[in-house]
Amino acid sequence: MTIKEKGYTHWDGEFLNKKLSWLPITRYGIKLTFRKKFFKLLFFLALTPAVLFLAGIYVAERMEDFQFMIREGEMPDFLNINPAYFKAYFTNDYILFMMVMILVFCGAGLISDDLKFNSLQLYFSRPITKRDYFLGKASVIVFFLFFVTLLPGLVFILMKLLFAASFEFLSTYPLLPFSVIGYSFLVTIFFAFYGLFLSSVNKNRRYVAILIFGLYIFSDILYGIFFGIFRNEYFALLSIKENLKQAGAFLFAQKLPHDIPWFLSFVIIAGFCILGAYVLKKKIRGVEVVK
Amino acid sequence: MKPVIEVQNLSRWYGNVLGLSDVTLQIEPGITGLLGPNGAGKSTFLRLITGQIKPNIGSVWISGQKVRNNYTLFQDLGVCPEQDSFYDELSGWQFLTGLLRLYHLSKSEILAKASKALDIVELTPDKDRVIRSYSRGMRQRLKVAQAIAHEPEILILDEPLNGLDPLSRRKIIRLIKSYKEEGKTIVVSSHVLPEIEAMTKRIILIHQGKIFAQGDIHYIRDLIESHPHIISIKCSRPRELVSKFIQHDFILKVNFIPDDDSLLVETNNRDKFFGLLPSLFVENNIEVFEVTSPDDNLQAVFDYLIGQ
Amino acid sequence: MTQSNVGKLKHLWNSVWDVFYFFFPLVRRARKSKVFYFISFLPVILAGIFKFSQIFTGHPRFEGIYIFSNMIMGFYLQFLILILALFYGTSVCSEELEGKTLTYLTTRPVPKSAIILGKYAAYTTLIALMVVFGLVFAFLILNVDDLLNFSLYKILFRSMAVLVLGLICYTAFFTMIGTFLKRSIMFGLIFSFGWENVIQYFPGSTQRFAIAHYLKSLLPTTQASEGFAFLLFRLEPTPPTLAVLILFLITAVFLTLACVIFSWQEYILQD
C-alpha cells in the first residue's frame, strides 16, 4: 500500500466580506464582564466623578440658587466651566486609577483565558481574521472606558448647552468637543493596547491582573524615586499616569504639568501601543496553522 | 467478606442540580466498576468517598473510619482524579518524588517507589521531561503512577483509561487486575462498558445520580441483551432483504425508508441478528453500503432500562 | 500537653516541612516568578544608576543612605512587598483551584492546615529572599564609599527585618483571603492600594487598622526626602516591641483563619 504524505492544507480563499464579524466577541466579552459580581459596584464607583462634575456644571450655571454655599460675589475657580474643568475631570488620579481597575476586571482575562483554555483555535476556525479577534477584544475595553471618558465628556458639553440655553459656550471654546473626543480616544486606545498586551503574556489571569495594576503603579513610583533624587522633570516620562496627564493637558490646551515637550509623552504612548501591537501579533500567531 | 467502603444514604446537590441521590452501598475488596454515561454522578460519588466534597446527606466510611478531613486514611488510599491537570513545570520524576515526600518516607524509599511506579506505567525513559511536554496518554499514565506509587491498599481511579492508546489501555487494565490478586480494593469508573468488563465482573450502574443496578456483569449483560436494538442497513435491494427478515422471530420490526434505500431493523437478539446478516447478503447477492447501530451506546441502554 | 497532642504537632510540623520541600523548588523555578525576580532586582539597577551619576557628576547630591531610605519608603513599603505578598499569598490556595491540582494535595496523608502552612512558608521564604537580596545589593552599591561605617548596617538590618515582617504579615493576610474569595486579587488590590494607602494617614487610632502603620513605626529612619515625606504624614508610631507583637499576632490570626477555612471550605474543581 502506498502511503501518501498528507500535510496541512492552508485555505487560501477569501472570507466573505462581513464587516462586523468581531461584534460577537465584543458582545460576549461585555456580557461576561457584567456577570462578575463586584464589577457593577466598581463601575458605579468609576462613574461617581462624572456625576459630581455634572452637578458642578449645573451649580455653575444656576449660581444664583446656590449663593448660600459660597462667599458673596465670589465664584469658586473650580466652578468655571472651561477646558480646565474638563481637563480636571479627565486627568484626575481617581479617574485614571478607576480606569486601571476596570482594565483589571475586564481586560485581564480577555486573551489569557483564551490561551489557558486553548480557545484560540476555536476562534480561528470561524470566518474571522486576527484583526477581527483583536478588534473584538479591544472593543470590550473601549466600551467600558468610553463610559468614563467619551460619554461623560460629551454629556458635560451637552448639559452645559442645555443649562445655559445658548451656544455661547461652544462659540467660546469651539475646539473643546474635539479635545474631549481626542483625549478619550487616546486614553482608551492606549489602555486597550496596554490591557491586551499584558493579557497575552500569560495564561494566568491573576498574574495578568497584577501586571496590569503593578506596571501602572510601578511606573509612577519609579518616576517618584528618580524625581525625588535628581529633580529632573524628564523622569515624568517613566510614568504612565504622568504621560497621560501631560497629553491631556496638551489636548485641552492647558498648562503642562511638567516642563518637558508635550510630544514626548505622545511618543511614549504611541511607542507603547506599537510594542503592544507587535507582541500581540507574535503571541497570537503561535497557535495558528502555519502555511 | 468485610466491606472496605461503606456509604449510607449519600446525597449531594450542586445548587439545584442533583449530583447523587440517596446512595447506600458497600464495596468489598477486589475490583468494582462504576459504570454510567457522562454526567451520571460517577465523579461526584468518587469525590464524596475520597472526602473531596461534603455530602448534603449521608455518610461515608472507609475501613470503618469517617472520610472527611481524615488525612490519615490517605496513607493507604490512592486517588487518580479525572482532571487532566498537573504542576506542568515539573518533570514526571519531580512530580512523583515530590508527592511521595508527603507520605513521610525516607529518601531511599521515595526514590525506590517513584522508580517502581514509573516503570510500571512505562514512563521511565521520559521521567526527566517536563510534564508540559507530555502527550495526553503519558499524562494519564503519570496520573495512575501517582495513585499507585505509595502502594496503597485502596485505589480510587476516576476514568483512568481516558486518552490511552489500546496498548497502554491493556497494560493499565492488567495492572489493575494484578492489584486484585494482591487482595486490594479498587474502585474504577468509566462510561465504556467493555473497559469495565475487561477489568471486573462486579459493577455498579449509576445514572442521573442514582444507583441503577449493582451486581454481576452478567446480570447487566442480560438486561442489555433483552434491550431491543435498532440497526440501520443501507443496501442495493432493501425490499428483498425485508422479505428474508420476516422469517425470523428475533426480528421484531422493520421500517423501510424508501428515499434512502435503507432499513431500520429492530431485534431483541443482537448476536443472532449479526450472525445471520452476512449470510443473507452473500446468498442473495445484495450489495451492502452501510450497517450502523444508532443506539449502540450506554446511554441508549440506560434509557431503555429506565423506560422498563 | 498530652502525648497525643505532641505527636499531632510533630506530625503537623513534619507535614509542613514536606509541603515546603515540594513547593519551594517549584515556585523558585516557576516562569511567573521571573518577572518578580526582575522587579526585586530593580533597586540594584537603580542604585547602580544613582552611584554612576554621582561618580560622573562628581558631587554627590545625596548620601547613599538617604537614597536607600527613600527606596525603602517609596518602592519597597508602598509597592514591592504589597505586590509580592498579594500575588504569592493569594496563589497559595487559588493556584491549586485554577490549575485543578488541589486533589493531588488533599489526597495525601497530610493535614490540610499543613498544605496551607507549608505553601505559605515556601512562598514567603522565596519572596523574602527576593527582597533581601535586592535590598542588600542596593545598600552595598549605594554605600560603597562608606562600607566601614557600621552604624549604617544597623539601618540595613532593621529595614530588612521590617520588610520581611511586612511580607510575613501581608502574605498571611492574602493567604487567608485566597482561601475563600474567588476574586482575591481584586480584593487584594483594593485593600493594598486603597485601604492601606488611605487609612495609614488617618489621625488617632484609625491608622492602627493598617498593617503599614506598624511597619512604618518600626522603620529605622524618618529622613525621607521631600518626595516621600508625605508617607510619614500624621504617623503616630506604635512602640516598636508592641508593633512587632501586633504584626506577629495579625500573622497568627490570619494563618489560623486560613487553615480553618481551607479545612472546612469545599472546593469544587470545575471542568
Q: Please give the pLDDT value at position A290.
A: 42
Q: Is the pLDDT of residue B250 over 90?
A: no
Q: In chain C, whose CA is at the least distance from the CA of B97?
A: C22
| Contact status of C4 with chain B (Cβ, < 8 Å) | no
Which grid coordinates are listed for B129?
521531561
| Contact status of A105 with chain C (Cβ, < 8 Å) | yes
Q: Kindly report the nearest CA distance between residue A12 and chain C, in angstroms.
A: 36
- β-bridge mates for residue B214, sequence order: B204
Q: Do C107 and B90 touch (CB under 8 A)?
A: no
How far apart are the C-alpha atoms of B287 and B82, rounded to whole Å? 45
Cα–chain center distance at B131: 25
Backbone angles phi and psi of C145, in degrees to 5: -90, 5
Q: Is the pLDDT of residue B293 over 80?
A: no
Q: Kindly report the nearest CA distance between residue B74 and chain C, in angstroms.
A: 5
| Contact status of C203 with chain B (Cβ, < 8 Å) | no
Task: Single out the residue of A168, A158, A113 nearest to residue A137, CA to CA.
Answer: A113
Give yes or no for a contact between C207 and C200, defined as CB atoms under 8 angstroms apart. yes
Q: Please give the pLDDT value at position B246.
A: 81
CATH 3.40.50.300 range(s) for chain B read 5-224
Percentage, residues of chain B above pLDDT 70: 92
Give yes or no for a contact between B55 and B10, defined as CB atoms under 8 angstroms apart. yes
Percentage, residues of chain C above pLDDT 70: 92
Q: Is the pLDDT of residue C212 over 70?
A: yes
Q: In chain C, whose CA is at the least distance from the CA of A217?
A: C79
The pTM (predicted TM-score) of the whole model is 0.85
Task: Single out the residue of C77, C63, C41 nearest to residue C160, CA to CA.
Answer: C77
Listed by number, the residues of chain C in 98-117 with a beta carbon closer than 8 Å to a beta carbon of chain A are 98
Q: Do B71 and C268 touch (CB under 8 A)?
A: no
Which span out of A55-64, B265-274, C59-68, C103-112 was modeled with the highest average pLDDT? C103-112
Q: Please give the pLDDT value at position A131.
A: 87
Q: Do C228 and A224 touch (CB under 8 A)?
A: yes
Nearest to B103 among C19, C31, C109 (CB): C109
Nearest to A221 among C74, C86, C189 (CB): C74
Query: Other CB atoms closer than 10 Å to residue B234's CB: what's the count?
Result: 16
Q: Please give the pLDDT value at position A69.
A: 66
Q: Which fold has domain B229-307?
A: Alpha-Beta Plaits (3.30.70)
Nearest to B71 among C29, C111, C266 (CB): C111
Partners of residue C62 in chain A, C-beta under 8 Å: 229
DSSP state of B229: E
Question: Which residue is it, cell 468485610?
Answer: B2
Listed by number, the residues of chain C in 171-210 with a beta carbon closer than 8 Å to a beta carbon of chain A are 183-186, 189-190, 193
Q: Kindly compute the dihedral angle of the four CA atoms of residues A13, A14, A16, A18, in this order, to the nearest 10 degrees.
A: 140
Q: Please give the pLDDT value at position A286.
A: 47
Give yes or no for a contact between C162 and C215, defined as CB atoms under 8 angstroms apart. yes
Q: Kindly report the nearest CA distance between residue C100 and chain B, in angstroms.
A: 6
Q: Which of A11-15, B34-38, C140-144 has the lowest mean pLDDT?
A: A11-15
Q: Please give the pLDDT value at position B271.
A: 78
Nearest to B74 among C22, C109, C268 (CB): C109
Q: Do B102 and C268 touch (CB under 8 A)?
A: no
CA triplet B90, B95, B101: central angle to 5 degrees? 135
Q: Is the pLDDT of residue C247 over 60?
A: yes
For strand B77-80 and strand B17-27, is the pairing parallel, antiparallel, or unpaired?
unpaired
Residues 6+ apart with CB under 8 A from B228: B252, B266, B267, B268, B304
How far apart are the C-alpha atoms of C193 and C212, rounded to whole Å? 11
Q: Please give the pLDDT value at position B212.
A: 82
Mutate to test the interface with C, among A210, A215, A220, A222 (most CBs of C within 10 A): A210
Across the A:C interface, residue pairs with CB atoms under 8 Å apart total 73
Backbone angles phi and psi of C33, in degrees to 5: -75, -20
Q: Please give the pLDDT value at position B147.
A: 95
Q: Kindly compute the dihedral angle of the four CA atoms of residues B275, B278, B283, B289, in this order, to the nearest 10 degrees.
A: 150
Q: Please give the pLDDT value at position B307.
A: 59
How far apart are the C-alpha atoms of C178 and B271, rounded to whole Å? 57
3-state secondary structure (DSSP) of residue B213:
strand
Nearest to A210 among C71, C86, C98 (CB): C86
Residue B198: pLDDT band (50, 70, 90) is confident
Q: Do A207 and C228 touch (CB under 8 A)?
A: no
Q: Is the pLDDT of residue C81 over 70?
A: yes
Cα–chain center distance at B170: 14
Q: Do C22 and B98 touch (CB under 8 A)?
A: yes
| Contact status of C86 with chain A (Cβ, < 8 Å) | yes
Q: Is the pLDDT of residue C67 over 90?
A: no
How far apart are the C-alpha atoms of A164 and A62, rounded to whole Å? 9
Is the model more confident about C264 or about A290? C264
| Number of domains observed in the structure of chain C | 1
Q: Do A213 and C193 touch (CB under 8 A)?
A: yes
Q: Please give the pLDDT value at position B24.
A: 93
Q: Kindly report the nearest CA distance between residue C101 and chain B, in angstroms.
A: 6
Is the model more confident about C85 or about A15? C85
- Length of chain B counted residue by residue: 308
Percentage, residues of chain B above pLDDT 90: 47
Nearest to A225 among C46, C86, C95 (CB): C46
Q: Kindly report the nearest CA distance between residue A243 and chain C, in angstroms.
A: 19
Give yes or no for a contact between B184 and B29, defined as CB atoms under 8 angstroms apart. yes
How far apart are the C-alpha atoms of C141 and C128, rounded to whole Å? 20
E strand or H helix that includes residue C150? helix C150-180
How far apart are the C-alpha atoms of B88 and C32, rounded to whole Å? 13
Q: Kindly report the nearest CA distance between residue C114 and chain A, in angstroms.
A: 24
Q: Kindly report the nearest CA distance between residue A209 and chain C, in angstroms.
A: 7
Tell me the mean pLDDT in the region C100-116: 95
E strand or H helix that includes residue B9? strand B5-14
Q: Which of A227-231, C45-49, C151-155 has the lowest mean pLDDT?
A: A227-231
Mutate to test the interface with A, among C77, C183, C223 (most CBs of A within 10 A): C183
For strand B30-35 and strand B202-207, is the pairing parallel, antiparallel, or unpaired?
parallel
Across the B:C interface, residue pairs with CB atoms under 8 Å apart total 75
**What DSSP string describes C194-237?**
IIHHHHTTSTTTGGGGSHHHHHHHH-S-----GGGGGGGTT--P
How far apart are the C-alpha atoms of B40 and B96, rounded to whole Å? 31
Q: Do C109 and B81 touch (CB under 8 A)?
A: no
Q: Exposed e or buried b for every residue in A137-168, given b needs 16+ CB within 10 A?
A: bbbbbbbbbbebbbebbeebbebbeebeeeee
B5-224 classified as CATH 3.10.450.50: no
Task: Single out the residue of C172, C97, C189 nearest to residue C127, CA to CA.
Answer: C172
How far apart are the C-alpha atoms of B293 and B233, rounded to whole Å? 9
Q: Please give the pLDDT value at position A37.
A: 78
Partners of residue B54 in chain C, C-beta under 8 Å: 266
The percent helix, strand, coil of chain C (3-state, each to 5) is 80, 0, 20
Domain that holds residue C213: 9-264
pLDDT one digit per residue (tens) for chain A, 291 residues: 555 555 656 666 666 666 778 898 999 999 988 888 788 888 999 999 999 999 999 888 877 777 666 666 566 677 788 899 999 999 999 999 999 999 999 999 999 999 888 888 888 877 788 888 999 999 999 999 999 999 999 999 999 999 888 888 899 999 999 999 999 999 999 999 999 999 998 888 999 999 999 999 999 988 988 887 788 899 999 999 999 999 999 999 999 999 999 999 999 999 999 999 999 988 886 454 443
Listed by number, the residues of chain C in 73-102 with a beta carbon closer than 8 Å to a beta carbon of chain B are 99-101
In chain B, beta strands by DSSP E: 5-14, 17-27, 30-35, 57-62, 65-66, 77-80, 154-158, 185-190, 202-207, 210-216, 229-235, 251-257, 262-267, 288-292
**Is C271 among the domain residues?**
no
| Contact status of C34 with chain A (Cβ, < 8 Å) | no
Tell me the mean pLDDT in the region C41-54: 89
How far apart are the C-alpha atoms of A224 and B55, rounded to whole Å? 55
How far apart are the C-alpha atoms of C77 and C92, rounded to whole Å? 22
Query: Other CB atoms closer than 10 Å to residue B147's CB: what's the count?
Result: 23
Task: Single out the residue of C266, C262, C257 nearest to residue C110, CA to CA.
Answer: C262
Backbone angles phi and psi of B155, in degrees to 5: -125, 130
Residue C5: pLDDT band (50, 70, 90) is confident
Q: For residue range B131-149, what is the model confidence (pLDDT) as tens digits?
A: 999 998 999 999 999 999 9
